[in-house]
Structure 1
Amino acid sequence: MSGASREALAAARESLTALTDNTSVDAKVLADELSAVTALLDREVSLRRVLTDPAQDGEAKAQLVARVLGEQVGGATVDLVSGMVRSRWSAPRHFVDAVEELADSAELVAAERDGSLEDVEDELFRFSRTVSSAPELRAALAGSSAGAQAKTQLVHSLLGGRAKPATERLVTRLVTHPRGRSLEGGLDALSKLAAERRDRSVAIVTSAVPLSDGQKQRLGDVLARLYGRRMHLNLDVDPEVLGGIAVRIGDEVINGSIAERLGEAQRRIAR
């Protein structure tokens, strides 16, 4: 997002936090309603253009939101979206992306309230790894041949009773309304959003064998000191690393695996 949209998104996040700090607000209902608003804005191109038109008065746009959404969603959702349209957005797409992010964040707030946020974060990561290693499953969830109902049923068969309800809802929304994203990219974004909700960064750690609890604790402590913030470790096992570990934090990779060192030696020999 460009500068204007980044500022608008930051303001929207603050508004959501202020709203959900009030425990009388049902975060799950808010998530469902914001998801419905996202779907509406995706369908109605002219509506999202009007709501993000910088030439239109902000208060007039807020009133339009109240007229369009007032009978479909609750007052909290109307107030939140009305505040968003008063901000300046660089592109209509950014506005819709922001509404979707707030829907996912509200779902994570609900998980935090019922004590399942950490489990949701871990389940999203594990599901992402499952999808990556199963091409047929990925095709069924991400392909265009199956409709939304079939994908919803497939997600339920995979996660229903095996994962937290919030995890199932988040994955279902992603596969039924991908909005141009890859399945892996969408799952990664959800994992990062969950980590941010817990005020921690995500470090994806790949090792040849599972790490012990002591090793995980020490690695987490080292990374926290290096980056100045807590780290959540998403652990993956890959025998091909041959030993050591590889750590990815965002776009940065810290690779201490034997395979990487052997590869570097081979590259030097080949020069």
Structure 2
Amino acid sequence: MEISSGITASLAGRYASALYELANEQGLVAAVEGDLERLADALRESADFAALIRNPQVAREDAARAIAAVGQVLGVSPLTANFLGVIAGNRRLSALPDVARAYAAIAAAARNEVTAHVTSAHPLDDGQIAALSEKLAARAGKSIKLKTAVDPEILGGLVVKIGSQMIDSSIRTRLNSLAQAMKG
């Protein structure tokens, strides 16, 4: 499989690419992707965990034990646990967030999928999510993975971001545009 050279050019991209190839051979792409998402979530939620992976003064053995314990608590697959041991041993734990992002990008590209970040003023129900996903898939020509967020400050409408493209149909933006037009 040809993987975008932009993704794999970085250190994190090379690690992610190697992990993806192993996961693909073992039929564990989705499991490893879920493991990496849980690890990324844990890094965002725990300042101590984030500090641990960035601290160069932590000995390799201590870092390996700590990351193994975190992996066990999160219930990661044996392949992901082995991978975490390798990057801890290579003193590359600080690259973990970038590896998780690169792995997700590689896996999405392999599935011909793009992620759409959708912000609405109120939570969307399942029917709205399905309809939006269908429309965005038709527009993008790829399958869509929706990540939704709620921001009451947009007042209504939606803000959709797919890659570098943004579609802002929020009432807040429309009101701001109207206010600018009225200023002359």
TM-score norm. by structure 2 comes to 0.64
> Residue 255 of structure 1: CA displacement?
3.6
Say if 1:174 and 1:186, in contact at 8 Å, map to a contact too. Answer: no
Aligned to 1:213: 126
Alignment of 1:1-271 (within 5 A): 13-14=1-2, 94=9, 100-110=15-25, 113=27, 116-160=28-72, 162-170=75-83, 177=90, 183-207=96-120, 210-233=123-146, 235-239=147-151, 244-257=157-170, 261=173, 264=176, 268=180
Offset from partner CA, 1:201-256 (integer Å, 9 cap, x none): 223344566543333322221111111111223x2545465555443322233344
Inter-CA distance 218–148: structure 2 relative to 1 (3 Å threshold):
farther
Matched to 1:222, the amino acid is K
Q: Which runs of 5+ in 2 are unaligned?
A: none
Say if 1:152 and 1:176, in contact at 8 Å, map to a contact too. Answer: yes
Matched to 1:141, the amino acid is I
Q: Residue 98 of structure 2 aligns to a residue in which SS?
A: helix
Q: Residue 58 of structure 2 aligns to a residue in which SS?
A: coil
Q: Residue 139 of structure 2 aligns to a residue in which SS?
A: helix
Matched to 1:147, the amino acid is A
In 1, distance between residues paired with 2:160 and 2:144?
12
Offset from partner CA, 1:140-189 (integer Å, 9 cap, x none): 22332323433333333333253444444555555665769755433211
In 2, distance between residues paired with 1:177 and 1:166?
17
Inter-CA distance 189–99: structure 2 relative to 1 (3 Å threshold):
closer
TM-score norm. by structure 1 comes to 0.48
Say if 1:192 and 1:202, in contact at 8 Å, map to a contact too. Answer: no
Greater strand content: 2
Say if 2:121 and 2:153, in contact at 8 Å, map to a contact too. Answer: yes
Say if 2:20 and 2:29, in contact at 8 Å, map to a contact too. Answer: no
- Percent identity among equivalent residues? 21
Q: Residue 141 of structure 1 aligns to a residue in which SS?
A: helix
Say if 1:178 and 1:186, in contact at 8 Å, map to a contact too. Answer: no
In 2, distance between residues paired with 1:174 and 1:266?
52
> Residue 106 of structure 1: CA displacement?
1.2
Say if 1:203 and 1:231, in contact at 8 Å, map to a contact too. Answer: yes
In 1, distance between residues paired with 2:119 and 2:183?
27
Say if 2:64 and 2:89, in contact at 8 Å, map to a contact too. Answer: yes
Q: Residue 144 of structure 1 aligns to a residue in which SS?
A: coil
Q: How many residues align?
A: 177
Q: CA RMSD in A?
A: 4.2
Matched to 1:143, the amino acid is N
Q: Residue 112 of structure 2 aligns to a residue in which SS?
A: coil
Q: Residue 109 of structure 1 aligns to a residue in which SS?
A: helix
> Residue 104 of structure 1: CA displacement?
2.2
In 2, distance between residues paired with 1:183 and 1:222?
34
Say if 2:17 and 2:106, in contact at 8 Å, map to a contact too. Answer: no
Q: Which has the higher contact order (CA 8 A, sep 6+)?
A: 2
Inter-CA distance 266–147: structure 2 relative to 1 (3 Å threshold):
farther
Say if 1:142 and 1:175, in contact at 8 Å, map to a contact too. Answer: no
